[in-house]
Amino acid sequence: MCAAALLLALIGASSASADLNICVGNDVTNACPAGSTAATDLADAATKATDISKNSIYVTSGVYGESSASGVNFVGKPVDIYGVGATRPILTLAPIYTPGTSVLFVGSNATIDNIQIDIPASSGLTGITSGPGGQFLKNITINGPAATASKGFVVDGSAPHIRGVTIDLGGSGSSGIRVLPGSTGALLEDVNVTHATTAVTINGVQNFTISRMKSRSAFGLASSQSSGTISSSVLMPSAVGAENSGGKAVDASATSAVPEGVRVANCTLIGGGTGTTGVSASGAGALPVVVNSSVISGFETATNATGSGTISVEYSRFTSQTLGATTVAGTSQLTGPEMGFVNASADNYRLQLSSPLVDAGDPTPANSNDSGTDADDQSRIVSRGAGKIRDIGAYEVQNSAPVPRIQVVTPVPSTTSNTLFSAAGSTDTEGDELTYSWKFDGAPSNGGATTQKMFATEGPHSVSLTVSDRSGASASTSTQFNVARGFLAIKLRSQNATISKKGTFKITMSCPVEAISNCSGRLLFQTTKKVVAQNYTKRPGWAAAAKSKKPAYLQAARYVFSIAPGTTQKLEVRTYSTFQNVLGVHKKFQIQSSLVSGTTGNASLTANRATFTIRAPKSSKK
């Protein structure tokens, strides 16, 4: 072959193996990938899909299937199917259909996401049948209220994964999901099956895992010759009326030994009374069934083991006294009908906070196959103060974080007094006793429901509060507030004093302990009575020219002070000569102090009014 021909052959091979995008329908509100091949419906898409590349089928909003009486078959063509559009696309069959067919057939390693399948009134039809190989079927709704002996899914192959599906099959003999023999590690999550005779049938499957399943079918889980775990699920055979006769929530059987058996963990099984059984283990093969941290209530027979089957009930609660060949371990016990459900009459089997099932489950770590979340997909282990212990049943009482609230109680926060803060308005849904953690301006501080603090600087400040409940949940809040500059009073004691020959007298003065640095400022002393200064110009010590002939208050002295916080000092004040002249005449005269200016590091100073009676020295001349 020449080089040019070889190149063309390689290009052709590369083009043939490229992935193919196919766009089904005409919903212009949702665009398929650019360059997609157009198809009118799923049957048209199946004819255009290739068997040598991955086919991604984008199905826009609409109803599809009228052109096919025998379903749409993608077996042998690698395919992923995605519902796109404003509403979930609906796949169905033509009015005249082939009996025993499926609406949709897919082969190995297929993903189907976001579609709805309507099974017409019929007998023996199936919504989706998938071949061998890991399948991922998610966000799918299958409706067939009049579909007798029909099935929602029939899944084959290794490790199929079914998640987020809702199945409603109203006809007798119907089955929501059937997992065929040969599968290992089948995973079913968030499966909701109503009205089917059997919600999930698992046959010859090892290491299956079912979590967050809800069933209102006569038989919840029918496990034959299989091993695995069902957890965090609510199974209610009572919800199907007449069909619940002989109904069982979990029915496990084996014809030969299945050493690993079936584990029922954190499930709520609610029966329909006479003729119903919670958990059954039967058959000729040894089959251990373990019921752990689960509720079995409302059944005529809580558990029944026959043949080589055995049942162990651990850390569970049950209401029926009939336990056929069952070992009761842990803290399992027969209880009254009241288990503390939120509203059992409305099929709400979540737990009240006061329920005896709270923190009463298995205290050991959960099995690796148990669901890590409860039936609401919420955290499975939420301790109410008794350690990391699961609640009994499908639902875990969730702990709400407290709601913190800060109140700045002091009307006008000041730099010279403590500001009071309160967290008393904080609340907790569960009514837990709360603990409090405070921070002021980012620095941790001690305190409980109330605390107080003095701030040295005026202006904006911040406070943050973290409130924690006994389960360890916490929440924080913060707020800002302003602190005003405070006022502190220096204390002057009124007293009598004798002036010295040098013209000085002593006063007693105190600085408040609330000051964070020395009280500093200037005092003014002046006469309490007005005098005419000119009348005293000939007295000894007179130095200033006295010009005023009008009576006025005469300045007697000024004093600049600096006193340490919380101390009292005696200070010597030197008087002006003008006042000495007055005193030389009157021998005794009153003066009064006032604060001209004064501050500390955190406050402005004020002064009490003090009056001093100053006497002249005994040797003073007239």
Q: How do residues 514-551 score in pLDDT, each as one tens digit? A: 999 999 999 999 999 999 877 886 654 434 444 557 88
Looking at 363, 398, 433, which one is the last position of a domain? Answer: 398
| 590 in the same domain as 498 | yes
* Structural domain boundaries enclosing 386: 228-398
- Is residue 567 in a domain? yes
| 550 in the same domain as 513 | yes
- Is residue 33 in a domain? no
Instruction: Work out the percent of the chain whose per-residue pLDDT is above 90.
Output: 62
Sign of CA dihedral 290, 293, 296, 301: positive
Q: Are 523 and 595 in contact (CB under 8 A)?
A: yes
Sign of CA dihedral 233, 238, 243, 249: positive
619 pLDDT tier (thresholds 50, 70, 90): low
Q: What does DSSP assign to residue 417?
A: S
| Cα–Cα distance for residue pair 442/434, rounded to 1 Å | 21
Q: Are 461 and 454 in contact (CB under 8 A)?
A: no
At 604, list the tokens: 């402005």
| 491 in the same domain as 479 | no
Cα separations in angstroms, 90 against 32, 71, 103, 171, 488:
17, 13, 11, 20, 81
| Cα–Cα distance for residue pair 474/495, rounded to 1 Å | 60
β-partners of residue 461 are 481
Predicted TM-score (pTM) of the model is 0.75
- Is residue 498 in a domain? yes
Element (H, E) at 48: helix 42-48
| Cα–Cα distance for residue pair 213/191, rounded to 1 Å | 5
| Cα–Cα distance for residue pair 478/292, rounded to 1 Å | 44
Supply the pLDDT for residue 545: 45
- Is residue 142 in a domain? no
Q: Indicate if the pLDDT at residue 28 is higher than 90.
A: no
Name, of 4-8, 430-434, 435-439, the range with top average pLDDT. Answer: 435-439
| 437 in the same domain as 368 | no
Q: Are 603 and 485 in contact (CB under 8 A)?
A: yes
Supply the pLDDT for residue 538: 62
Contacts of 366 (CB under 8 A, 6+ apart): 265, 372, 380, 381, 390
pLDDT in tens, 380-390: 876 665 566 88
| 387 in the same domain as 465 | no
- Is residue 70 in a domain? no
Question: Comparing 342 with 383, which gets the higher pLDDT?
Answer: 342
| Cα–Cα distance for residue pair 449/425, rounded to 1 Å | 9
Q: Are 206 and 181 in contact (CB under 8 A)?
A: no
| Cα–Cα distance for residue pair 536/546, rounded to 1 Å | 8
Give Cα 552 distance to the centre of its chain: 77
What is the rounded average pLDDT of the residues 296-313? 92
**Which residue is associated with the tokens 């010590």?**
541
CB atoms within 10 A of CB 415: 24
Question: Quick one: 86 exposed, middle or buried, by C-beta within 10 A (0-12, 13-18, 19+)?
Answer: exposed
Task: Tell me the average pLDDT of the chain.
Answer: 87
At 337, list the tokens: 């009908």
What CATH number is attached to the domain comprising 454? 2.60.40.10
Q: Are 109 and 79 in contact (CB under 8 A)?
A: no
| Cα–Cα distance for residue pair 530/513, rounded to 1 Å | 37
pLDDT in tens, 229-284: 999 999 998 544 444 467 899 999 999 999 999 999 999 999 988 889 999 999 99
Q: Are 143 and 136 in contact (CB under 8 A)?
A: no
Q: Indicate if the pLDDT at residue 397 is higher than 60.
A: yes
DSSP 3-state percent helix, strand, coil across the chain (nearest 5): 5, 45, 45
Supply the pLDDT for residue 34: 87
Three-class DSSP category at 403:
strand
Q: Are 97 and 128 in contact (CB under 8 A)?
A: no
What CATH number is attached to the domain comprising 499? 2.60.40
Supply the pLDDT for residue 243: 46
Supply the pLDDT for residue 195: 87
| 389 in the same domain as 304 | yes
- Is residue 144 in a domain? no
275: nearest Cα among 213, 322, 206, 210: 322
67 pLDDT tier (thresholds 50, 70, 90): low
The pair phi, psi for residue 479, each rounded to 5°, is: -155, 160
Q: Are 344 and 334 in contact (CB under 8 A)?
A: no
Give the range among 134-143, 205-214, 357-366, 447-456 with minimum mean pLDDT. Answer: 357-366
Looking at 398, 424, 441, which one is the last position of a domain? Answer: 398
Contacts of 390 (CB under 8 A, 6+ apart): 266, 293, 359, 361, 362, 366, 380, 381, 396
- Is residue 590 in a domain? yes
| 380 in the same domain as 432 | no
Number of domains in the chain: 3
| 551 in the same domain as 477 | no
Supply the pLDDT for residue 210: 96
235: nearest Cα among 299, 282, 285: 299
Three-class DSSP category at 2:
coil
**Which residue is associated with the tokens 């509403």?**
87
Contacts of 119 (CB under 8 A, 6+ apart): 92, 93, 103, 125, 126, 127, 142, 143, 144, 147, 150, 169
β-partners of residue 612 are 495, 591
Contacts of 343 (CB under 8 A, 6+ apart): none
| 475 in the same domain as 535 | no
Question: Comparing 462 with 125, which gets the higher pLDDT?
Answer: 462
167 pLDDT tier (thresholds 50, 70, 90): very high
Give Cα 96 distance to the centre of its chain: 52
Give Cα 134 distance to the centre of its chain: 34
| 457 in the same domain as 334 | no
- The type of residue at 294 is S
Supply the pLDDT for residue 539: 52
Rg (CA), the chain: 45
Looking at 436, 468, 483, which one is the last position of a domain? Answer: 483
| 514 in the same domain as 449 | no
- The type of residue at 185 is G
| 466 in the same domain as 499 | no
What is the rounded average pLDDT of the residues 596-601? 93
β-partners of residue 445 are 438
The pair phi, psi for residue 562, each rounded to 5°, is: -155, 110
146 pLDDT tier (thresholds 50, 70, 90): confident
What is the rounded average pLDDT of the residues 4-17? 37
Going through 399-485 in order, the beta strands assigned E by DSSP cover 407-408, 419-422, 435-440, 443-445, 450-453, 459-468, 474-483
Instruction: Work out the percent of the chain whose per-residue pLDDT is above 70.
Output: 91
- Is residue 394 in a domain? yes
